[in-house]
Structure 1
Amino acid sequence: MPRFSVIVPCFKVQGFLRECLDSVLLQSFNDFELIAVDDCSPDGCGAILDEYADRDPRVKVLHLPQNVGLGRARNAGLPHATGDYLFFLDSDDTLTPGALRAMADRLAEAGDPDGPDVLVFDYARTYWWGGTRRNVLAHVLAEAGADTFTVADRPEILDLLMVVWNKVYRRDFVEENGFEFPPGYYEDTPWTFPVMLSARRIAALDRICLNYRQRRQGNILSTTSRKHFDIHDQYERVFAFVERHEQLWSWRPYLHRKMGEHCLDILAKPDRLPPADKAEFFRRTAQLFRRHKPEGALLDGEVALLEGGYAAYRLKRQAALAGREAGRRAEQTRRTTAARARRGWAGLRARLPLDPHLVVYSASSHRGVLGDPAAVYRKAAEIAPQLRGVWVVRDEETAAQLPPGVEHVIVGSRRYLEVTARANFFVNDVNWPGSLAKRPGSVHVHTHQGTPLKYMGADLLDKPGARLGFDVPQMLRRADRWDYSLVANRHSELVWERAYPCHFASARTGSPRNDVLVGAGDPGGGDFRLRHGIPEDHTVVLYAPTRRDYRRGGHVDRIDLARFAADLGEGHTLVVRLHPTLATGPARGLGLAELARRGIVVDATDEPHVEEVMLASDALLTDYSALMFDYANLDRPIVVHADDWAAYTASRGAYLDITAEAPGHVSRSYRELAWLFASGSWRDEESARLRADFRARFCEYDDGRAAERVVRTLLLGEPMPAAEPGAVRIPGQSVTDDLLASR
Structure 2
Amino acid sequence: MTLISFVVPAFRVQGYLRECLDSILGQPFGDLEVIGVDDASPDGSGEILTEYAGRDARVRPVRLAENVGLGPARNIGLDRAVGEYVWFVDGDDWLVPGCLPHVAERLLTTRPDVLMVDHIRAHWNNLGTPSVMADMFPEPPGEATFRLRDRPETMRLLHTAWNRLVRRQFLAGLGVRFEPGWYEDVSFSYPVLMAAERIGVLDWVCLNYRQRRSGAITRTRGDRHFEVFAQWHRVFRLMDQWGPAVEELRPAVFERMIWHYLTVLGNGRRIAPELRPAFFAQIHADYVQFRPPVGYPVPAGVEGVKHRLVAAGRWRTFSVLRSASHARDAARRSVRRAGRRVLPVARVTAGVTREAVLREYYRAELRRPLDPTLAVYAAYWYRGYACNPAAIYAAARRLAPQVRGVWIVRRDGVDTLPPGVEYVVAGSRAYYRALARARWLVNNVNFPDFVRKRPGSVHLQTHHGTPVKVMGLDQQRYPVGAVGMDFAKLLRRVDRWDYSVSSNSFSTQMWERAYPAAYTTLEVGYPRNDRLVLATAGEVQKVRAELGIGPDERVVLYAPTHREHLPGYRPPFDPDRLLDVLGPSGRLLMRSHYFEDRDRRPRGTAAGRLLDVSAHDRVEDLYLAADVLVTDYSSAMFDYAVLDRPIVVYAPDWEAYRLARGVYFDLTAEPPGEVALDFPALLDLFRSGAVRSERAEQARKRFRARFCALDDGHAAERVVRRVFLDEPAWPAPAGSEHRRDRPMTRNRAVTS
TM-score normalised by length of structure 1: 0.51
d(CA) in 2 for partners of 1:386, 1:734: 37
What is the 5 A alignment of 1:79-94? none
Amino acid at match of 1:424: R
- Give the corresponding residue for 1:715: 724
Match of 1:476 among 471, 491, 494: 491
**Cα deviation, residue 423, structure 1:** 0.7
CA deviations 1:10-41 (Å, max 9, x no partner) are xxxxxxxxxxxxxxxxxxxxxxxxxxxxxxxx
Match of 2:453 among 435, 438, 444: 438
d(CA) in 2 for partners of 1:566, 1:733: 54
1:650 aligns with 2:675: no
CA deviations 1:677-736 (Å, max 9, x no partner) are 122221122221111110000112211100000111111112423544333424354499
- Give the corresponding residue for 2:511: 496
d(CA) in 1 for partners of 2:536, 2:547: 22
Match of 1:663 among 655, 658, 672: 672
- Give the corresponding residue for 2:741: 729
- Give the corresponding residue for 1:628: 637
d(CA) in 1 for partners of 2:635, 2:554: 23
1:352 aligns with 2:368: yes
Amino acid at match of 1:645: W
1:379 aligns with 2:391: no
Query: Could you say what secondary structure the match of 1:517 adopts?
Result: helix
Distance 1:387 1:588, change over 3 A: farther
Q: Is the Cα–Cα contact under 8 Å of residues 576 and 606 in structure 2 kept in the other structure?
A: no
Match of 1:577 among 560, 585, 591: 591
Q: Is the Cα–Cα contact under 8 Å of residues 523 and 615 in structure 1 kept in the other structure?
A: no
What is the 5 A alignment of 1:496-575? 496-518=511-533, 520=535, 524-549=539-564, 551-553=566-568, 555-575=569-589
Distance 1:675 1:383, change over 3 A: same
**Cα deviation, residue 523, structure 1:** 8.8
d(CA) in 2 for partners of 1:561, 1:710: 41
Distance 1:483 1:637, change over 3 A: same
**Cα deviation, residue 438, structure 1:** 1.1
Q: Is the Cα–Cα contact under 8 Å of residues 523 and 618 in structure 1 kept in the other structure?
A: no
**Cα deviation, residue 402, structure 1:** 1.4
d(CA) in 2 for partners of 1:506, 1:542: 32
d(CA) in 2 for partners of 1:442, 1:389: 15
d(CA) in 1 for partners of 2:540, 2:748: 40
d(CA) in 2 for partners of 1:563, 1:525: 27
Q: Is the Cα–Cα contact under 8 Å of residues 376 and 440 in structure 2 kept in the other structure?
A: yes
**Cα deviation, residue 472, structure 1:** 2.7
**Cα deviation, residue 524, structure 1:** 4.9
1:405 aligns with 2:415: no
**Cα deviation, residue 488, structure 1:** 1.2
Amino acid at match of 1:537: D
d(CA) in 2 for partners of 1:359, 1:644: 42
Q: Is the Cα–Cα contact under 8 Å of residues 523 and 617 in structure 1 kept in the other structure?
A: no
Amino acid at match of 2:720: V
d(CA) in 2 for partners of 1:593, 1:605: 16
CA deviations 1:310-330 (Å, max 9, x no partner) are xxxxxxxxxxxxxxxxxxxxx
Query: Could you say what secondary structure the match of 2:532 adopts?
Result: coil
Equivalenced residue count is: 399
Distance 1:606 1:597, change over 3 A: farther
Amino acid at match of 2:730: M
Q: Is the Cα–Cα contact under 8 Å of residues 375 and 404 in structure 2 kept in the other structure?
A: yes
Higher mean alpha-carbon deviation, 471-480 vs 421-430, is at: 471-480
- Give the corresponding residue for 1:454: 469
Distance 1:735 1:571, change over 3 A: farther
Q: Is the Cα–Cα contact under 8 Å of residues 576 and 602 in structure 2 kept in the other structure?
A: no
What is the 5 A alignment of 1:93-104? none
Distance 1:334 1:388, change over 3 A: farther
What is the 5 A alignment of 1:146-161? none
Amino acid at match of 1:359: A
Query: Could you say what secondary structure the match of 1:475 adopts?
Result: helix
CA-atom RMSD in angstroms? 2.6
d(CA) in 2 for partners of 1:717, 1:354: 18
Q: Is the Cα–Cα contact under 8 Å of residues 543 and 624 in structure 2 kept in the other structure?
A: no
**Cα deviation, residue 370, structure 1:** 0.3
Query: Could you say what secondary structure the match of 2:531 adopts?
Result: coil
d(CA) in 2 for partners of 1:406, 1:571: 39
**Cα deviation, residue 639, structure 1:** 1.1
**Cα deviation, residue 333, structure 1:** 10
d(CA) in 2 for partners of 1:411, 1:437: 17
- Give the corresponding residue for 1:637: 646
- Give the corresponding residue for 2:628: 619
Query: Could you say what secondary structure the match of 1:466 adopts?
Result: helix
Match of 2:610 among 579, 586, 601: 601
1:392 aligns with 2:408: yes
d(CA) in 1 for partners of 2:745, 2:484: 34
- Give the corresponding residue for 2:276: none
CA deviations 1:374-418 (Å, max 9, x no partner) are 0000111112111100001122x2113211211111122111111
d(CA) in 1 for partners of 2:473, 2:748: 20
- Give the corresponding residue for 2:479: 464
Query: Could you say what secondary structure the match of 1:491 adopts?
Result: helix
Amino acid at match of 1:511: Y
CA deviations 1:419-450 (Å, max 9, x no partner) are 11111111100110111111111111111111
- Give the corresponding residue for 2:379: 363
Amino acid at match of 1:458: L
1:425 aligns with 2:440: yes
d(CA) in 1 for partners of 2:556, 2:424: 38
Q: Is the Cα–Cα contact under 8 Å of residues 481 and 661 in structure 2 kept in the other structure?
A: yes
Q: Which has the higher contact order (CA 8 A, sep 6+)?
A: 2
**Cα deviation, residue 537, structure 1:** 0.8
Q: Is the Cα–Cα contact under 8 Å of residues 593 and 603 in structure 1 kept in the other structure?
A: no
- Give the corresponding residue for 1:115: none
**Cα deviation, residue 337, structure 1:** 4.6
d(CA) in 2 for partners of 1:462, 1:613: 35
CA deviations 1:95-125 (Å, max 9, x no partner) are xxxxxxxxxxxxxxxxxxxxxxxxxxxxxxx
- Give the corresponding residue for 1:149: none
- Give the corresponding residue for 2:155: none
d(CA) in 1 for partners of 2:501, 2:742: 13
1:699 aligns with 2:708: yes
Amino acid at match of 2:381: S
Match of 2:688 among 672, 679, 694: 679
d(CA) in 2 for partners of 1:343, 1:647: 43
Amino acid at match of 2:407: W
d(CA) in 2 for partners of 1:735, 1:345: 43
TM-score normalised by length of structure 2: 0.50
Amino acid at match of 2:357: A
Distance 1:550 1:617, change over 3 A: same
Distance 1:625 1:337, change over 3 A: closer
Amino acid at match of 1:613: L
d(CA) in 2 for partners of 1:400, 1:333: 39
Distance 1:401 1:522, change over 3 A: closer
Amino acid at match of 1:642: A
- Give the corresponding residue for 1:22: none
Runs of 5+ unmatched residues, structure 1: 1-331, 738-743
Q: Is the Cα–Cα contact under 8 Å of residues 424 and 431 in structure 2 kept in the other structure?
A: yes
d(CA) in 1 for partners of 2:350, 2:418: 33
d(CA) in 2 for partners of 1:594, 1:374: 38
**Cα deviation, residue 592, structure 1:** 4.0
**Cα deviation, residue 476, structure 1:** 2.1
Amino acid at match of 1:731: P
